[in-house]
Structure formats: structure tokens, C-alpha cells
Amino acid sequence: MLRCPGQDQRFWKPEDIFDVKCLGCGHSVEFFKDEPKRKCRNCGQTVVNPKIDLGCAKWCQYAEQCLAVMRESGDQPEGPKSSK
């Protein structure tokens, strides 16, 4: 997947990679902060990232392109929030 420059992993903090327990079996599923969902390697259930961080979508000039790529892949992120 195309990565937004605002999500450059060189600037991530240790807490941007974390584990979430699968609700199906309790197995640990590792997430990066920008991954919307993963499949549990133990039971195959889809686990949704509770800490999804697509903050750059609020200001990046390429946000619509990035989000469109994610929608096409079935990840369905929320679009940028307007500040009206």
C-alpha cells in the first residue's frame, strides 16, 4: 500500500506498534498504528485496530488518494474530518 509521508515509520514512537487481544480466541495480534485491521493468525478472525491513527488525513493534500487506496483494499477508513 502507498504510504503517506505523514505516516513515515522513521518518526514513530515505540507505542505506535502494539498488541491487541483477539476477541475470538484471546491470541495476541500485533498492530502498527496505521493498520485498520488484521487477521488473527491463531483463529482467522478479523481484529479491528482500536487505536487507528490516520491523523495526517486531516491536513495532507494527498489524503483523498491515500484513503481511496485503502477503501479499494477493503479497509474503509474514515475520511478527513472537516473543521466547520
Q: Is residue 7 part of a domain?
A: no
Range of the domain at 27: 14-72
Q: Is residue 20 part of a domain?
A: yes
Mean pLDDT of the chain: 78
Q: What is the pLDDT of residue 6?
A: 55
Q: Is residue 82 part of a domain?
A: no
Q: What is the pLDDT of residue 42?
A: 97
Q: What is the pLDDT of residue 69?
A: 64
DSSP labels for 1-68? ----GGG-GGG--GGGEEEEE-TTT--EEEEETT--EEE-TTT--EEE-TT---GGGGT-TTHHHHHH
Total domain count, the chain: 1
Report pLDDT digits (tens) over 42-83.
999 999 999 886 777 778 787 777 777 666 666 554 444 444
Q: Is residue 53 part of a domain?
A: yes
